[in-house]
Structure 1
């Protein structure tokens, strides 16, 4: 055996694949997961294929990182911790504030508190951070200066101006890759909690003899991601609408973009971050390094499904959303020796092939939009 690894949130999309990788490499895997209905269904024992898969290779503890007792039971005897447990969803975080802060910040604090105040054998902790901590991505001005623009103005977006502007700068900004040295200015409660999570781990771990690594994930997608959760993952959301024959509402002007990174590449980077000696104390972007627009996402899904549904580019927008962000992945290449191996079109084809083997989920997406609109967060 290589050693013992604990994966918090390990029955989820990334954790289940990562746990399999550790098990295949000879590690003894323990998973701590609260099995929330939003991801696993109301009866995870029968509705969560991810849970069934994880039980093939791991010891599963049903519990939560917000419970000191659950954490104490899970960390005993562990050598590596990969901390994935978190509430996810930019929009939902803006009105379920206490829930997000309790899980993401409070849960991380309890995990570190257990290590700081008890006996342990943990040598490294990898925390799943997020590109959301950057807020808007990096840009160059017409004069060639690198800038990190502030959040977009509600009034400007209401008038149909979705572009990113830098105060005092005339002319359009050029989008460039965002590196780990970028200004941190999250635009959502979710982003704030991920920044605090990362900061807690990177600050506390070295003081208790644990090597920290923070991975700033971009938009992770692929087979196995939740088709039930209407708050995260536009590929899942749009796929369900396509299968139901329902129209797709593309927000803003459809040119907003994200960095989509395939699950296998994320698992590989995370495993190496947990095991490669040179990764200790590093903060590393995990992405494809390619910006893909929402309109391109829809086109790729139509191609993979071999069918289309009506689409509307509506000009709707959500407060807290960013316009663009894609990762500078040079540090991942340098420190982990990795780069994205699955391009977006191929990844979407694999994703759709898997989706077509799954039952069509109920339409909870509209409910999530109605919740945001009722709070004046969706315009």
Structure 2
């Protein structure tokens, strides 16, 4: 098949391109090479039909979707950013870009889409109170964060909560601009599928890491920021108390999830969208990840700072059983193995 990969020059997109080529597919890439993600032009893989254009460019998109069998939509502005001034850029890149792409696909008769979504659409993860069962805590307050009270309390009784695993049918509660744009992408894709009889697999990525991550940008993931600090001979700076639980999933496993989703699209009914969590199944705290990375790198011991970012959630880990059970995908890279590789892997300059 001929697959269009938007954002195919980016961190995750480039690994998806490699996986698709390895599986025997023809690949076309559309990427704007935005400065926030690309300070230097990436190498173009052999045999890839390369298109340097923005997904918001309707003419370029109309040309790019001609003759393709499916689209893997990876193009997005990622991360929390620095402040609310980023909001127009997020909405433009993520939501307007997705709308332009979907319009082009509708016109060209392309009916299969794998969408890169994110676990951030859930907001806080699943919590259980001993007295009140499963509850959904509200956003953490500045007063609590300033006082070092990082764990969200039960919204009914104020008692401590036990975090758990989130399933795909959990209520969605995006808590920052980026998260809101990712949820909007899902809604746009579902509306497109219903209107044209398309099929969508929305992959809700967890904290993706691995070779080729961008270094030292406000949009890089925490694993990249820690790795960059170690490379400079500095101690990784861990926010809050380091107890935030996340699922760190290797980029090769994420690219494998894209292949599984692509293969599974024909099994969906026309007009349907199916969401899949993509995680390793091995939750770890941010502090544990920083320590494992520092040990593997042979660098300085991480420093827990107590700093925080408004809009961050405390714990978010999710079950990936649906992706395993329905599409036969499973992660191959264990946490320790992945961190050992990442500790010395090449990062990209941007």
Contact 1:112 1:205 in 2 (8 A): no
Contact 1:273 1:279 in 2 (8 A): no
- Which blocks of at least 5 consecutive residues in structure 1 are unaligned? 365-379
SS of the residue corresponding to residue 204 of structure 2 reads strand
- Of Structure 1 and Structure 2, the greater helix share is in 1
SS of the residue corresponding to residue 318 of structure 2 reads coil
Structure 1 residue corresponding to 2:170, chosen from 155, 179, 182 = 182
**Alpha-carbon separation, structure 1, partners of 2:202 and 2:37:** 24
SS of the residue corresponding to residue 55 of structure 2 reads coil
**Alpha-carbon separation, structure 1, partners of 2:267 and 2:217:** 36
With over 3 angstroms needed to count, the CA separation of the structure-2 counterparts of 1:265 and 1:334, relative to structure 1, is same
Q: Name 2:292's counterpart in structure 1.
A: 300
Asked if 1:119 corresponds to 2:108, the answer is: yes
Please list, as runs of the form range in 1=range in 2, the aligned pairs for 1:250-289 lying within 5 A after superposition.
250-276=238-264, 277-278=266-267, 281-289=273-281
CA displacement, residues 194-230 of structure 1 (integer Å, 9 cap, x when unaligned): 0000111022123212211111100111111112534
TM superposition shift of 1:18:
1.2
TM superposition shift of 1:65:
1.1
Asked if 1:344 corresponds to 2:335, the answer is: yes
With over 3 angstroms needed to count, the CA separation of the structure-2 counterparts of 1:326 and 1:99, relative to structure 1, is same
Please list, as runs of the form range in 1=range in 2, the aligned pairs for 1:287-366 lying within 5 A after superposition.
287-309=279-301, 311-355=302-346
After superposing the two structures, state which structure 1 stretch, 140-149 or 217-226, moved more.
140-149
After superposing the two structures, state which structure 1 stretch, 176-185 or 91-100, moved more.
91-100
SS of the residue corresponding to residue 270 of structure 1 reads helix
- Which blocks of at least 5 consecutive residues in structure 2 are unaligned? none
Contact 1:202 1:213 in 2 (8 A): no
Structure 2 residue corresponding to 1:244, chosen from 214, 232, 246 = 232
SS of the residue corresponding to residue 95 of structure 1 reads helix
TM superposition shift of 1:106:
0.5
TM superposition shift of 1:319:
0.6
Q: TM-score, normalised by structure 1?
A: 0.87
Q: Name 2:214's counterpart in structure 1.
A: 226
Q: TM-score, normalised by structure 2?
A: 0.94
SS of the residue corresponding to residue 317 of structure 2 reads coil
Asked if 1:28 corresponds to 2:26, the answer is: yes
SS of the residue corresponding to residue 187 of structure 2 reads helix
**Alpha-carbon separation, structure 1, partners of 2:328 and 2:82:** 35
Q: Name 1:163's counterpart in structure 2.
A: 151
Contact 1:6 1:74 in 2 (8 A): yes
TM superposition shift of 1:5:
0.5
CA displacement, residues 267-311 of structure 1 (integer Å, 9 cap, x when unaligned): 1111110112335631110001232111111111121112325x4
CA displacement, residues 108-156 of structure 1 (integer Å, 9 cap, x when unaligned): 111112233x232x23101111001111001111036222222111111
Contact 2:36 2:219 in 1 (8 A): no
With over 3 angstroms needed to count, the CA separation of the structure-2 counterparts of 1:312 and 1:354, relative to structure 1, is closer
Q: Name 1:369's counterpart in structure 2.
A: none
TM superposition shift of 1:64:
0.7
**Alpha-carbon separation, structure 2, partners of 1:89 and 1:159:** 26
Asked if 1:81 corresponds to 2:79, the answer is: no
